[in-house]
């Protein structure tokens, strides 16, 4: 199994290993300050992956023993190869989001991370609108979704050692060949990196005793969802787009810390053009497992859900007269990420999800003027997806 999948499955597996929390750490502080060494997997001049080293700091604000807001900033001084619209020069990453401890004992904890933010590169290639100039370099900032988890070891109640690993899907926008709005574009993508950090932190301020935890009742959850998905469409006139959608979810408590969980969503926007695998509207179904805990009006979960994307208008043929034909195309996806639930009342649920929905296009046959051609699915495609909803527990 390759590193790109392990960097998600390791944190998700850690979230599911919810051993009984005996001898839990007795206290915490509101603020936690840390420094870390980090690596980010970028690309060299031969288009091979390289690990770029960096350093930075982080700050957490702990609402309780398990849940915190966390910010982290890392600087990578190595000059990476300039690539059109994607990367180049030195790199800065800044993320801000949620850290949630699922397993906690006196000496260690296992946590998950959902942290949106930015990747900033100092020297990215672009096409300037200037006579006789073929290309130039400029700073570029990309939206990134930092997803993963790790472990903390408590040397003392105030000193913490920490290691974490995350996936970093980030949005590379479509790149115009000139400043003219009607000019053609270089199609963007959802690029992806792996991020690893190891560091130490100190907890200043007063030590606060852990509150008593209570479980949340309910076997079944049902609710309504809205979603935003950043996705690269296959049609040559579309590229990277933001797709809004809506649907519903259901969840069933299987046993202990495991839940069967499903989302069904519909993305109604059509596309300007179609490819052999992708075109038109998207119908998404995700069916799998979420694992974590529900305590004191809040639930914290990792998710691993296989499913499908069904596209309403994929290209199936082009006649000799230039007429296009289309049909539905259904492809395998795998949704990996995290879920945070808030329980404002005994039976209601506010649900928030963030994830990277991996798309595996299958091989399709396309008729070009009477000649059948087999079109492969190509490389794994990434998306960045946010989902919010409201539901009821029974």
Report in angstroms the alpha-carbon separations of 387 from 33, 34, 44, 326. 30, 30, 34, 30
Q: pLDDT (tens digit, 9 = 90+) per residue, 296-307?
A: 889 999 999 999
Q: Are residues 260 and 185 in the same domain?
A: no
CATH number of 244's domain: 2.40.160.20
* Residue that terminates a domain, selected from 151, 184, 212: 212
Q: Are residues 178 and 35 in the same domain?
A: yes
DSSP character for 212? P
Place of tokens 């998710």: 303
Looking at the structure of the chain, the number of domains it has is 2
Q: What are the backbone dihedrals phi and psi of residue 27, each rounded to the nearest 5 degrees, phi first? A: -155, 170
The confidence score (pLDDT) of residue 134 equals 78
Q: Are residues 204 and 219 in the same domain?
A: no
Q: Are residues 46 and 86 in the same domain?
A: yes
Q: Are residues 120 and 164 in the same domain?
A: yes
Q: Are residues 34 and 23 in the same domain?
A: yes
Q: Are residues 231 and 341 in the same domain?
A: yes
* Regions of the chain with pLDDT less than 50: 1-3, 11, 14-23
Q: Are residues 176 and 303 in the same domain?
A: no
Q: Are residues 188 and 221 in the same domain?
A: no
The confidence score (pLDDT) of residue 18 equals 41
What length does the chain have? 394
Q: Are residues 109 and 240 in the same domain?
A: no
DSSP character for 297? T
Query: Rounded CA gap, 236 and 224, in Å?
Result: 33
Supply the pTM of this predicted model.
0.90
Here the tokens at position 187 are 């199609």
DSSP 3-state of 9: helix
Q: Are residues 149 and 223 in the same domain?
A: no
* Residue that terminates a domain, selected from 212, 240, 270: 212
The confidence score (pLDDT) of residue 216 equals 86
Q: Which residues on neighbouring strands pair with residue 381, listed in sequence order?
A: 359
Q: pLDDT (tens digit, 9 = 90+) per residue, 148-179?
A: 999 999 999 999 999 999 999 999 998 876 55
* Residue that terminates a domain, selected from 212, 241, 275: 212
Domain assignment of residue 315, given as a range: 214-394
Q: Are residues 301 and 254 in the same domain?
A: yes
CB atoms within 10 A of CB 385: 24
Query: Rounded CA gap, 157 and 142, in Å?
Result: 37
């Amino acid at each position: 199994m390759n590193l790109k999948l392990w960097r998600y499955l390791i944190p998700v597996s850690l979230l599911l290993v919810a051993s009984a929390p005996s001898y839990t750490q007795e206290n915490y502080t509101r603020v936690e300050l840390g420094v870390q060494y980090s690596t980010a997997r970028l690309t060299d001049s031969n288009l091979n992956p390289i690990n770029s080293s960096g350093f930075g700091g982080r700050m957490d604000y702990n609402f309780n023993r398990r849940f915190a807001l966390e910010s982290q900033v890392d600087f990578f001084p190595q000059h990476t190869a300039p690539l059109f619209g994607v990367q180049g020069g030195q790199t800065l990453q800044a993320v801000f989001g949620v850290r949630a401890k699922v397993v906690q004992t006196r000496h260690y904890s296992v946590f998950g991370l959902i942290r949106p933010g930015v990747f900033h590169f100092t020297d990215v290639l672009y096409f300037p609108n200037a006579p006789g100039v073929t290309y130039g370099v400029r700073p570029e900032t990309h939206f990134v979704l930092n997803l993963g988890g790790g472990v903390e070891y408590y040397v003392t109640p105030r000193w913490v050692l920490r290691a974490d690993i995350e996936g970093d899907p980030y949005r590379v926008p479509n790149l115009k060949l000139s400043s003219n709005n009607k000019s053609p574009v270089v199609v963007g993508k959802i690029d992806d990196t792996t991020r690893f950090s190891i560091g130490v932190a100190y907890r200043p301020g007063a030590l606060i005793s852990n509150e008593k935890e209570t479980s949340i009742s309910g076997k079944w959850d049902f609710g309504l969802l809205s979603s935003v998905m950043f996705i690269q469409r296959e049609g040559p006139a579309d590229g990277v787009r933001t797709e809004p959608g809506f649907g519903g979810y259901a969840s069933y408590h299987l046993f202990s810390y495991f839940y069967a969980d499903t989302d069904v969503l519909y993305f109604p926007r059509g596309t300007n053009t179609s490819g052999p695998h992708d075109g038109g509207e998207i119908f998404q179904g995700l069916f799998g497992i979420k694992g974590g805990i529900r305590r004191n009006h809040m639930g914290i979960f990792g998710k691993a859900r296989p499913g499908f994307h069904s596209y309403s208008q994929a290209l199936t043929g082009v006649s000799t007269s230039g007429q296009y034909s289309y049909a539905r195309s259904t492809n395998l996806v795998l949704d990996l990420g995290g879920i945070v639930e808030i329980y404002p009342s005994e039976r209601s649920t506010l649900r928030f999800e963030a994830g990277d929905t991996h798309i595996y296009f299958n091989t399709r046959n396309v008729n070009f003027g009477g000649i059948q051609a087999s079109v492969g699915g190509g490389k794994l495609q990434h998306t960045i997806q946010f989902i919010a909803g409201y539901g009821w527990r029974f």
